[in-house]
Amino acid sequence: MVRGQFTSLTLAGRRGFGLLLGVLALLGPLTGKVYPSFVLPPEARNDPTQVAQTQALPLEFNKPIERKLSGGETHIYEINLPADQFLRLLVDQRGVDVTLTLFSPDGVKLREFDNRLSERGTERASFIAKRAGTYRIEVQSLRKTAPPGNYQIRLEELHPGDQQARAIDAAEQLMADGNALRAQPTKEALAQAVVKYWQALVLSDTIGDLQMKAAVLNKLGRSHFSVGEE
């Protein structure tokens, strides 16, 4: 009887150990910021390409990264910044229209960049880190039916925030606020978006950023056209 109980306990222990190994396999490595593979559909869990897309790649100064992005896909990047550090990213769109989203060290969405509504050309993202930590940048092709295309992401500027950088950061925030308001289906929100764009235009003109000024003027033109339609 004692022997039978011992055998049962041994088998239970083996099953428990096997279950533990299975859980650890699903969770993946215990180091590094990796999204667990169990969040993927079953058919994708054994696909290394799919699993790799859930891992955040580090961004380094003057080390561009080129990748292919399909419709509906998201690529994740991370960079560690000290407080009051200015950063400017450039994304060269080569056949795919991308949206960039910035997240704080604690995962709060800070800003979205989508000022180049085209599958070609450069999308820019600039900001100043309000506090030290690891910031996340997501590059996404929002239209799920979009064909795959290439893009190159690179860190163009990285330095302590100065007066020029603060003006750029403020203008980018006004642009992002205007874009969010313009996405709302009300005339009042559209009117508020126009105000944000005008403020961003004044700042971009003051700092002499011609590329930003062109993007703001484009947004203003589209907004005034939409107001006229209503």
Q: Judge whether residue 27 has pLDDT over 70.
A: no
Specify whether the CB–CB gap between 197 and 219 falls below 8 A: yes
Nearest partner of 27 among 4, 54, 65, judged by Cα: 54
Instruction: Give the Cα separation of 156 and 160 in Å (integer).
Output: 14
Mean pLDDT confidence for 19-28: 40
**What domains sit in the chain, N to C, each tagged with a CATH number?**
2-44 (no CATH), 56-159 (2.60.120.380), 162-230 (no CATH)
What angle is formed at CA 92 by the lines to CA 88 and CA 93, rounded to 5 degrees?
135
Q: Judge whether residue 117 has pLDDT over 70.
A: no
Instruction: Give the Cα separation of 105 and 79 in Å (integer).
Output: 10
Q: Judge whether residue 38 has pLDDT over 50.
A: no
**Following DSSP, what letter does each residue of 37-70 receive, concatenated?**
GGGS-GGGTT-HHHHHTTBPEEP-BT--EEEEE-
Q: Judge whether residue 50 has pLDDT over 80.
A: no
Q: How far is CA 179 from the centre of its chain?
A: 16
